[in-house]
């Protein structure tokens, strides 16, 4: 079986990456942070790109693509530290509604005039909802207390999956920032990136990220195929992506000489988003327990004869 993404899937992700790189750079994040978090023009741009309708069925005016493609785009949203709640609406809320057969009003989602705030018992807040405002470690997330929450495990898995996808994109971006800074920061007359110890730290981040990515993509495909094992694959993805993002955030701060904590360095936007998403839709302890229960409890047989059956 060929597990690689197709050229069409990769082209879609690259197109979104290029668009976000050109419209949503660090200067935009700073402007939003200083001027109220949201700019209607940014949301309209996402609508014009067709991203709000990515997972909406074609009969309702969308593109009707699956969760693997949505996870790829969610990773690009993480890479750009996208402020708008596109992932919550288009890649969590819409697939959840479609799975329940609730198709009314999806045309409005495609048009960008309707958002789908979703909340779960383990994640009792909404992105850009209408409830009372809550404080987030990430200044670009507008969280509100949910008036009503769901206990649907499918919703939980969608939220955790798309959080994991964003985390690998965030980690990629933080690693890139750390590497670029290591080339220009000097100590003892040479760039710090030339020191073997720092090279090893950055290499460890790269390995963690690259090991997390296929875990996330597998979870997306398992969810798309509605496999019984999908929940444990999602939890594995959330743990792997969270660990990669946290390791990379810590290393990037060290590369910056701890300046990464400060407002003057762009890194802090990606770092705070990582912290926020690591705890969203079930924290590391929650998802690690789900994996432990499945493996040690015997509901998920291990070994190559099962993995590649």
Percent of the chain with pLDDT over 70: 96
pLDDT in tens, 181-237: 888 776 777 777 666 778 899 999 999 999 999 999 999 999 999 999 999 999 999
The whole-number average pLDDT for the span 255-284 is 91
Is the pLDDT score of 2 beyond 70?
Answer: no
Is the pLDDT score of 308 beyond 70?
Answer: no
Extents of the domains making up the chain: 7-116, 153-307
The per-residue pLDDT for 263 is 86
Q: What is the rounded CA–CA span in Å between residue 244 and residue 135?
A: 25
The per-residue pLDDT for 59 is 97
Q: Which of 50-54, 126-130, 251-255 has the highest mean pLDDT?
A: 50-54
Give the CATH number of domain 7-116. Answer: 1.10.540.10
Give the phi and the psi of residue 308 in degrees, each rounded to 5. -110, 20
DSSP 116-179: ----BTTB-EEET-SS-EE--SSTT--EEE-SS-B--HHHHHHHHHHHHHHHHHHHHHHHHHHH
Residue 136, classed as helix, strand or coil, is: coil
pLDDT in tens, 39-57: 999 999 999 999 999 999 9
Give the CATH number of domain 153-307. Answer: 1.20.140.10
Is the pLDDT score of 302 beyond 90?
Answer: no
pLDDT in tens, 83-104: 999 999 999 999 999 999 999 9
CB 217 within 8 A of CB 71: yes
């Amino acid at each position: 079986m060929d597990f690689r993404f197709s050229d069409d899937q990769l082209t879609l992700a690259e197109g979104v990456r290029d668009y976000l790189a050109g419209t949503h750079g660090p200067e935009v994040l700073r402007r939003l942070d200083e001027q109220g978090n949201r700019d209607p023009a940014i949301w309209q741009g996402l609508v014009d790109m067709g991203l709000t309708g990515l997972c909406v069925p074609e009969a309702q005016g969308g593109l009707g693509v699956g969760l693997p493609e949505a996870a790829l785009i969610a990773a690009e949203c993480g890479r750009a530290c996208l402020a708008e709640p596109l992932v919550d609406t288009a890649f969590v809320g819409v697939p959840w509604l479609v799975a329940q057969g609730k198709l009314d009003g999806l045309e409005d989602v495609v048009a960008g005039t309707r958002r789908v705030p979703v909340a779960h018992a383990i994640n009792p807040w909404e992105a850009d909802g209408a409830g009372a405002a809550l404080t987030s470690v990430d200044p670009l997330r507008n969280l509100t207390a949910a008036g009503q929450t769901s206990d649907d495990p499918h919703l939980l898995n969608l939220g955790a999956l798309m959080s994991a996808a964003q985390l690998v994109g965030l980690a990629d971006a933080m690693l890139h920032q750390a590497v670029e800074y290591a080339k220009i920061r000097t100590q003892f007359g040479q760039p710090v990136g030339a020191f073997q110890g720092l090279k090893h730290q950055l290499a460890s981040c790269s390995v963690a990220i690259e090991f997390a990515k296929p875990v996330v993509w597998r979870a997306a495909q398992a969810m798309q195929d509605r496999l019984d094992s999908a929940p444990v694959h999602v939890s594995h993805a959330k743990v792997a992506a969270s660990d990669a993002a946290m390791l990379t955030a810590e290393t990037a701060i060290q590369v910056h000489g701890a300046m990464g904590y400060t407002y003057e360095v762009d890194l802090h936007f990606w770092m705070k988003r990582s912290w926020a998403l690591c705890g969203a839709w079930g924290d590391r302890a929650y998802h690690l327990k789900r994996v432990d229960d499945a493996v040690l409890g015997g509901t998920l047989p291990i070994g190559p004869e099962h993995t590649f059956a």
